[in-house]
Each structure stands twice: as C-alpha cells, then as structure tokens.
Structure 1
Amino acid sequence: MLETIVLELLLEDVIFYSSWVNRFYSALESMASWTRNPGVLTRRATILFPDALYGDVAKNFAQLARLSEYCSKLRTITMFINWHGPGGSSQINLEWISNVTQAILQTPIFSTDCLVSLADKNPGLETLALIAERPKNVRVTLQTDVVFPQLGRFFISCDDVFCHLSTPKLEWLGFCLRQPSNPGLASFLRDNCTGLTYLHLDMLDLLDEDLPRILHLVYLCPSLETLSLEGYPVYNYGVDPLEPHPSLQHLVLRCEGAYEPVDWLEMFGLIHDGWRPLLSFTTITFRLFYRNRQGFTTFEKDKATVKEAIDERCGKLDAELAFEEVL
C-alpha cells in the first residue's frame, strides 16, 4: 500500500530532459513489478530541451511520440526548448503531442502550421500556449482552417494566424499585437469571442494612430471583463471615446519601470484633465516587473513612485488601485 502511494506521488507530475525520455520509459517498465502499468499514474509531464542538445534531435521527438503509449492518462504537457540549433523551426516537431487537455509550449521559434496536428490529435484541448522567444520568430505557415472545439484558454506569440482558427468556447485569449487593422483578427474576435472574459495584448511596434483600432478590438468582445496589457503604450492625441463598454471592469498593466504606468493611463485618457476616458475601470492592477533590480530600488519604492505620479497628474482615479510584484 505504501509503495503505491509513493509511486503516485512520484509519477503524477514528472520532469525530464528530452534526451532522457528512454530512461523514463525504462524506469516505468522497472516499476511494473510494484504496480501494474505505472504509467497511468502520470497526469502531467514537463520536457526540457537544454541549450546544448546531445544526439539526434529528430530521434528525441520520435521517442516522445511514444509518451502517450506509456502514459495513457497524461493530460498536461509543458515543454521548454532553449536551444538555437541549425534548421530553426524545421527541427521542432510537435506532432508527438496527443490526447492532452493542456499544452504549454515555449520554444525559440515555431511554424503556425503546427496548429493542425495539435487540433487533430488533441480534440479535447482546453488550454494552449504557443510561446516564441520573439514574435518575429513565428513563421506564419498555416493555410488551412483549424477548429479547437473545447479550447477555453489560448495564447500565441503572433496576431496573423486567426483568420484560419475557430474556437467557439474561448474565454481567455492572449497574443502579440502588431497589426491591429488585420481583418482576419477582427473577424476572429467577432465570431469566436462573444463569451471572452479576459483579453491579454502584448503591444509591439504599434503607431499612435493605431489606438482607435486597438479600441475597436476590445469592443468586439462584448462579455470582456478584464483587459491585460504589456509592451509599449501608444500616445493618445485626443481620440474620441465610444459608448461605455458593456462589461469591462478590470485593467491589468504589466510595467517594466515605475514611470511606465503613467504612459498607459495617458493612453486611455485617464490622467488628462478635462478629457473623457476612452475606457472606464473599477480596478487597475499594476504588475511591476523588473529583469534586474540590482539593489537600486524596491517594490515599495516603485509603488510609491507610481502613486505620486498619478496624484500629480490627475489627483485621484475613480478606479481602485492594486499593485503586484512580478519577479
């Protein structure tokens, strides 16, 4: 009885290097003397591809294709690829992922046609994150329509793949926004996001004149409750506000400096005296993120700086303010 409990604790959530997958299979086979088919105990697996890969990369992926045979109850896959080897995305194979409900895939580069196999082999997929090291590393190769019937949470490091996607149950969406005027993106939001409650935008390389288009995307999500933003805010040159959004309540801002929050608030017209705000919120959360503090500042000091800047510019916001430290 005790051995079974220990095995359940050890095997429910596993982590291993990609080159060690056969060792993992061998370990499962050796445990068969303790309990029948120990692989069914594994629910979550994290696979690490190190900076320096050893052996045949294609062979590593081929071996991973047997993971569902050994672990038939596996439901969550997390994969981190750190290597920058020759061949780029051509060597990154995601077709081995099957019958999971959650996939978090972080890689230096990927091609969007991988969505075809992810949809075909994972019809019950509920959460999917495809994260590239940089948005420009995403190769837009998807040319066929793809349906994720159960997908509720989705993040992808690009914005020009949506014209081929259907996600009727989507509630949480995040992507890197570079082309807010993309008609495929607008159509996707209009057709798939009537029930969307959370939208995260990583704003990159946008122009000040893109602000009305950004607002238009928000209004295409009538059930939206939370808008989350990071990246680089654009400047508001007096954009006319629309009618109040029917459900939006919360704004989350991920900031890399103590003065960046003010730039975001300016973008929405929240700290210009006499301006009508473009959007109204009941709560605004500042997620203060720093790559390296080096002892020059602290979270409390940065929080105080943000509050002082807001007081100087607008006196008081109607929204309740909250602060989170992101390490």
Structure 2
Amino acid sequence: MAKAQINWFHDCYQSLLQSPLSHWLETLPAQMTDWQRHARHGNLDKWVKLLSKLPDTRVTTVDLRQSVTFGSPEDVDEYTQNQITGLFKQFMPWRKGPYEIHGIHIDTEWRSDWKWQRLAPHIQPLQGRTILDVGCGSGYHMWRMLGQDPDLVIGIDPTQLFLIQFQAIKHFNPDTRIHLLPLGIEQMQPLQAFDTVFSMGVLYHRRDPIEFLNQLKHQLRKGGELVLETLVVEGDDTTVFMPGERYAQMRNVWFIPSTAALTVWLERLGFDDIRVVDNSPTTLDEQRTTEWMPSQSLKDFLKPEDLSRTIEGYPAPQRAVILATRK
C-alpha cells in the first residue's frame, strides 16, 4: 500500500493528540494499519498513483461559508486546469458536492449544498467544537462544517473511492483540522466525546436502525447534539415502512420511519430536545445525472407518469432533518 496513505492517517493522529479524543489513539492506529494491510479495491493503487500527479498550485481563494471553493481560475494556466480536470474525472462518479477547484466546476449528482442550507440555520454553532460525520461520503458537508471554524472535523466512511475523492479535494487545502477515516460506525469504540455527530443518508441503509442510533449516541458527550438526516414516510408514531427487495432501485433500504416514530426511537434511546427542522421531498433538480456522474439518477427511479411514486410503486423519496441532544 502506498506511503501516502500512512501520512494521511498520521496527520489525523497528530490532531487527535491535542483533542478530547486522544483516547481514540488507543485503538485507531492499529485499525488503520490493519485497513492498509487488507484494503483490496481493484483500483486503489491506481487511484493513489493518480493522486500523486495532482499539481501543486497557488490557492489564492478559499470559500467554505457559501460553497466549497479552492483557488481561482487565474491561479493556474489552461494546461494545469486541464490536468486537474482529467485527474479528477478518473475518480468518477462524484455523488456529493458541488466543488470548485481553480474554476473547475465539479457538478455532482447531488446538490448537497441545498441540504446544508436547509439544516445549517438550526444546528448548534460549530465554532470550537469537535465533530463526527458518519457516512460522510467524499466529505462535502465536512468542508461546510469546517467553514464554521470548529476545532476538529472527522468523517468516517468505508468506501475507498470516497477516501480518494476527499484526499483529491484536500490536496488543494491541506487543513489539519479535517480528516476522513475508512471506518464504519460499528468499528468505533464508544468515544463519548464529540460535541456534534452528523449522520446524513445512512439510517435507512442499516438493518438494525435502533442499534445504529445507539452507536451514534455513544460517540456524543452528554449534552452533545445529533444531526440526523434520513428518508421518512408520512404517518403517526407507529408508522415504519419496510420496502421490498428494492426502493427507488436501491437494494439496501431497510426501515423508513415517520418523523413521529423516529422521535419515539430517539426518546427511548436517551435523547431529548428532539426537533424536526426540515421535511422536504427530493426533487429532480437536487439529485440528477451530470457530466461528473453520468449514470442513472433519481428521474430513472420514479414512475414517468407519476413522479410521486418510485418505479416500484412506493412513495417517492422524502427526507427530514431531526436534531436531538444526548441526555
């Protein structure tokens, strides 16, 4: 495995040393050593080599408050811009974003900035906080979190392509306060130390959603805030929908609760101050095919004659943001 990966994790360890998460170092380095030994994605070595070809550039502009933008077009010549574009296209599909790198617009499948705009006004201010983003994908929302000046942002996601995409973006802003680790939540010890834990677009992929919520809880300190974004259905506090083999062509969708049922789950697990701050249908403008994600997207998963239903006949995706505090 390439040496660059060891350096990625070493930087994270250094950040943890000076944080309330220093006790994580009792287990994390061994886990990452084991990951490097067993990581087996067929393209991983190729991706790491491609990362090493990204040019070092002068980044004159950084914007994380309104977007994720690193560098302006004037910082680089046309050859360098084309070089960056060509390398980033080797890391397709790009699902969460968008990103702007030296004037290159990475138009991702999801307008993740819209989701951030819906939840950001409601969450506890992130300045000075330690943050965990569970199932963070390529890290778009982590960069937006960093724009609020936290002490530390850690994302976990086992998908190796997302790790590569994150490192490609971080090449242009190597901030020591933000790190992505190729872990699942089930691999983490109960740290009970994060000020804020985000989980967006993960709950419905878990076979045991109650255990997953409990795992999130045990990463928070007492009084810490959970920011949960997930698919929901209409209904009362007993309504939980379990689709058949597929939901909107996704195989790994298990339980989709109503917001009322989800509130009951959180109360039973020891959360309070539970609030639904957004409940919105997913539109064809928010999730769609692009140059950077050219395969099928939401419009292919809904009935053409009735966009309120998936092609399986289920209610079309509706997503809610729920905030809760660990007692």
Q: Indicate whether the TM-score tops 0.5.
A: no
Pair member with larger Rg: 1
Give TM-score, length-normalised by structure 1: 0.30
Give TM-score, length-normalised by structure 2: 0.30
